[in-house]
Amino acid sequence: MNFLIIAAAFLLLILGFVGLVLTTGALRVGRRQRRLDTQGVPTTGEAIEHRASGPNQVVVYQYSVEDTSYRNSENIGPDAALLPPVGSLVEINYLPTDPKTSALAGDTHTSRLYRRLSIGPLIVLVIVFVTMTLGGIALIYNEAIILVMQPR
């Protein structure tokens, strides 16, 4: 019986931690996309490379802000036809307070995904995953206390 409780506690702990990492990451990239949408400064860059990332296509682009060159990449999605040709000009938005933070302008596969990451449901998920993690810790602690208190 103790083994099942400890296994369940570790499962809660692991799932809670992984979920917490994923949802806080989603909150971060969603916030970044909203900042680019509202505060982004448009500029023109150049598509310099294509590569695959799993089933998705990625474009690597380069741009300059005040004589400093930056390089970034963006997931275009599974449709290779949407990739801008290497050497072509691409429209980019960057943050004036942090020029290395940028994204392709317009409606891309990645920007659509990030815009859908609304804060409300993600905060609820963070609370759920924190609760799961704390529940796992509490179960492990409780079982440890029981083991220590048992007469030998």
Are 139 and 8 contacting, i.e. CB atoms less than 8 angstroms apart? yes
Mean pLDDT of 143-150: 81
Are 94 and 65 contacting, i.e. CB atoms less than 8 angstroms apart? yes
Instruction: Give the model confidence (pLDDT) of 23-55 as tens digits.
Output: 888 888 888 888 998 999 999 999 999 988 888
Whether the full predicted model's pTM is greater than 0.75, yes or no, is: no
In sign, the C-alpha dihedral spanning 90, 94, 99, 103 is negative
Instruction: Give the model confidence (pLDDT) of 82-96 as tens digits.
Output: 889 999 999 999 999
C-alpha 124 chain-centroid distance: 17
Are 73 and 126 contacting, i.e. CB atoms less than 8 angstroms apart? no
Residue 1 in this model has a pLDDT that exceeds 60: no
Going from the C-alpha of 26 to that of each of 33, 95, 146, the distances in angstroms are 11, 19, 38
Residue 61 in this model has a pLDDT that exceeds 80: yes
Query: Where exactly are the structural domains of the chain?
Result: 2-149
